[in-house]
Amino acid sequence: MESLLLSVLMTILVPLGIGILLVYIIFKRRYTYWDNFDIAVKRPQFPYGSLGNPFNKTASGHVTVADAYNSFKRSNQKHGGIYVYFTPLYLPVDPVIIKNILIKDFNYFSDRAAYYNKKHDPLSFNLVTAGGQDWKDMRYKLTPLFTISKLKLICPLLQIHNERFVKKIDDYVRRMEPAEINDLTGCLTTDIIVSCSLGVECNSMEHPNTDFRKFGKRLFHFTPFRLLKATFTRGFPKLARYLGLVVFPKDVSDFFMNIVDEVFDYRTKNNAKYNDFFQSLMELQKNETNERVKKTNIATQALLLFTAGFETTSSTLTLAIYELGCNLEIQEKLRKEVSSVLEKHNGKLSYEALMEMEYLDRVTDETLRKYPSLPISIRKCIQDYRVEGTNLVIQKGVKVCISILGIHRDPEYYPDPEVFDPERFTEINKSKRPPCTYLPFLDGPRNCIGYCLQSRVSSESHES
Ligand code: HEM
């Protein structure tokens, strides 16, 4: 009996052990990728790579990437190599290399290598995830939605939501109650994006449990399982598509599709026209004959605005308010500017009035310097690329990681980087820094398309 058990165990355990050993050897070999190049490397730890165990550490992944940036910089390196799990990533430090990657040689790095699944999750194939010609076509069509003139059209909407935000804060002040600012800026951003992109009034400022708020929170709630799935889909996109893994949970996509259905049908039947993104999205689709495709395309872009614009804007607002609370002199200086400009404009917070608030811009810029909403950006090299001034050739398929946080906290460009100092952004001080050392919206053809919209949304609300 005992020998039978032993032989069964041996039949299972030996092949299993050999299997594990083989997998270990194969994957461990991937950690030698950068050894083939003359480049500094942040040593990996099996199986997590250079960033360490994501479940057992005090610093998040982007902080570890910034640490790698710092260590390469300290040892006077222009760049270095890191590993995220088993994937080698190129990490540039020299701003000239970064500028070439983002702007001059953009054609080598136009893809973001983000995961989408057209078949099982059509809304996931959008401007952020698409690559190559698909991305170029989408960007070409969507760019006219983000011009200053379009922005001016939605300014009255921004003003309505801003007034509600101010009233809410006033209520807390009158009741002498502490306010959960993160929740309030979340509601404000939700209301603005939903009314601009879907033409729907959700007023989560008054009703914080609206479906939009609920689904919005779910979109940005990353459980360990979701993080694991995201890592898997990024590392093995083909297999993930084959397995039918999706980006957006089905109930979230269904919810957005239903809203788009309703708004589209209402506007078509009543021939109703509004000054919002939804209207522009409908116009973009006017030559599409298949109604389902038309609605799916609109829902894709509306959900994209929500996912790309929500967390970035609301967290920036929260952190600006936090810094103004910690730095009373800066708060006072800002208050004086706002009051004097408003006085000139008869108390009306117009687009023109906002344009005159220079100190407000500096406060926003410094907030995004200290706390970039996207601390890293990933690009994929789509053809072999020689890095200027070096012998290194980045091979096709290798990913590039720009540490925006590392650059923004680099004492060479920003002395005492932990100090919140809007004066870093006077015209004269800005002109002293080399290009590509301030990248909250990235740079080049694939920068943030919402740049001009976001700066106004944030400004209106700091104003309160
Ligand atoms: C504080 C607010 C914001 C910040 C800091 C920010 C930052 C960024 C950054 C850094 C990127 C480049 C990402 C990368 O390449 O890895 C990006 C892309 C993008 N952003 Fe923003 N963003 C903000 C607000 C918005 C808003 C309000 C919208 C739209 C309503 C928006 C829409 C987009 C889109 C669609 C892209 C992808 C562009 C493309 O691939 O062509 N963003 N954003």
Token pair 């050897």 in the structure block, residue: 25
Domain contains 4: no
Higher-confidence residue of 276 and 76: namely: 76
Q: Whose CA is nearest to atom 35 of ligand 1?
A: 449
| pLDDT greater than 50 at residue 396 | yes
Q: What is the pLDDT of residue 435?
A: 97
| Domain boundary residue, one of 326, 361, 396 | 326
Beta bridge partners of residue 385, listed in sequence order: 394
* Number of domains making up the chain: 2
Query: Which segment, 67-71, 245-249, 343-347, 455-459, is predicted with the most confidence on average?
Result: 67-71
Q: Which atom of ligand 1 is nearest to the CA of 142?
A: 35
Higher-confidence residue of 26 and 443: namely: 443
For residue 139, how many other CB atoms are within 10 A of its CB? 15
Q: Give the list of residues 6+ apart from residue 353 with CB closer than 8 angstroms, or none.
A: 341, 342, 344, 345
| Domain boundary residue, one of 263, 298, 326 | 326
- Cα of 309 to ligand 1 centre, how many Å? 7
Q: Do 318 and 171 reside in the same domain of the chain?
A: yes
Q: pTM of the entire structure? A: 0.91
Determine whether the shortest distance from the Cβ of 442 to ligand 1 is under 6 A.
Answer: yes
Determine whether the shortest distance from the Cβ of 433 to ligand 1 is under 6 A.
Answer: no
Q: Do 81 and 209 reside in the same domain of the chain?
A: no
- Cα of 404 to ligand 1 centre, how many Å? 13
Q: What is the pLDDT of residue 461?
A: 53
Identify residue 365 by its one-letter amino acid code.
D
In this prediction the ipTM stands at 0.97
Q: Do 86 and 161 reside in the same domain of the chain?
A: no
Q: What is the pLDDT of residue 46?
A: 84
Q: Report the mean per-residue pLDDT for the chain.
A: 89
Determine whether the shortest distance from the Cβ of 379 to ligand 1 is under 6 A.
Answer: no
Is 273 exposed, middle or buried, given 0-12, 13-18 or 19+ CB atoms closer than 10 A? exposed
Share of the chain above pLDDT 70, in %: 94
Q: Do 315 and 253 reside in the same domain of the chain?
A: yes
- Cα of 313 to ligand 1 centre, how many Å? 10
**Over residues 359-379, mean pLDDT:** 97
For residue 330, how many other CB atoms are within 10 A of its CB? 19
Q: Do 163 and 52 reside in the same domain of the chain?
A: no
**Over residues 58-75, mean pLDDT:** 90
Domain contains 126: no
* Secondary structure (DSSP) of 243-265: TT--SS-HHHHHHHHHHHHHHHH
| pLDDT greater than 50 at residue 284 | yes
Q: Give the list of residues 6+ apart from residue 281 with CB closer than 8 angstroms, or none.
A: 145, 197, 297, 298, 301, 302
Nearest Cα to 382, choosing from 392, 395, 396? Answer: 396
Q: Do 429 and 284 reside in the same domain of the chain?
A: no
Range of the domain at 278: 146-326
| pLDDT greater than 60 at residue 456 | no
Query: What are the b/e assignments for 389-402, b being 16+ CB within 10 Å?
Result: eeebebeeebbbbb
For residue 119, how many other CB atoms are within 10 A of its CB? 11
**Are the CB atoms for 194 and 219 separated by under 8 Å?**
no
Q: Do 311 and 381 reside in the same domain of the chain?
A: no
Q: Do 160 and 303 reside in the same domain of the chain?
A: yes
Least confident of 167-181, 272-286, 310-324: 272-286
Determine whether the shortest distance from the Cβ of 216 to ligand 1 is under 6 A.
Answer: no
Domain contains 97: yes
Tell which one of 192, 312, 405, 438 to mutate to probe ligand 1, the residue whose CB is within 8 A of the most ligand atoms.
Answer: 312
pLDDT tens for each residue of 67-95: 999 999 999 999 999 998 888 999 999 99
Domain contains 353: no
Q: Do 170 and 288 reside in the same domain of the chain?
A: yes
Domain contains 345: no
- Cα of 238 to ligand 1 centre, how many Å? 26
Determine whether the shortest distance from the Cβ of 128 to ligand 1 is under 6 A.
Answer: yes
**Over residues 148-159, mean pLDDT:** 81
Q: Whose CA is nearest to atom 15 of ligand 1?
A: 377
The CATH number of whichever domain residue 267 belongs to comes to 1.10.630.10
Determine whether the shortest distance from the Cβ of 309 to ligand 1 is under 6 A.
Answer: yes
Domain contains 348: no
Determine whether the shortest distance from the Cβ of 312 to ligand 1 is under 6 A.
Answer: yes
Domain contains 238: yes
Nearest Cα to 308, choosing from 227, 195, 189, 405? Answer: 189
Q: Whose CA is nearest to atom 25 of ligand 1?
A: 309
Q: Do 301 and 155 reside in the same domain of the chain?
A: yes
Determine whether the shortest distance from the Cβ of 202 to ligand 1 is under 6 A.
Answer: no
Token pair 């209106």 in the structure block, residue: 460
Least confident of 168-177, 205-214, 427-436, 452-461: 452-461
Q: What is the pLDDT of residue 1?
A: 60
CA distance 351 to 144: 19
Determine whether the shortest distance from the Cβ of 305 to ligand 1 is under 6 A.
Answer: yes
Least confident of 54-68, 153-167, 432-446: 54-68
Determine whether the shortest distance from the Cβ of 129 to ligand 1 is under 6 A.
Answer: no
Domain contains 336: no
Q: Would you state the structure tokens that stand for residue 373, as one six-digit string?
A: 């909403």
Q: Which atom of ligand 1 is nearest to the CA of 447?
A: 12
Q: Do 305 and 158 reside in the same domain of the chain?
A: yes
**Are the CB atoms for 398 and 90 separated by under 8 Å?**
yes
Q: Which atom of ligand 1 is nearest to the CA of 458?
A: 1
Q: Do 81 and 28 reside in the same domain of the chain?
A: yes
Tell which one of 98, 191, 368, 448 to mutate to probe ligand 1, the residue whose CB is within 8 A of the most ligand atoms.
Answer: 448
Nearest Cα to 456, choosing from 341, 368, 338, 360? Answer: 360
| Domain boundary residue, one of 302, 326, 350 | 326
The CATH number of whichever domain residue 73 belongs to comes to 3.30.43.20
Share of the chain above pLDDT 90, in %: 58
> Is 202 assigned to a binding site?
no
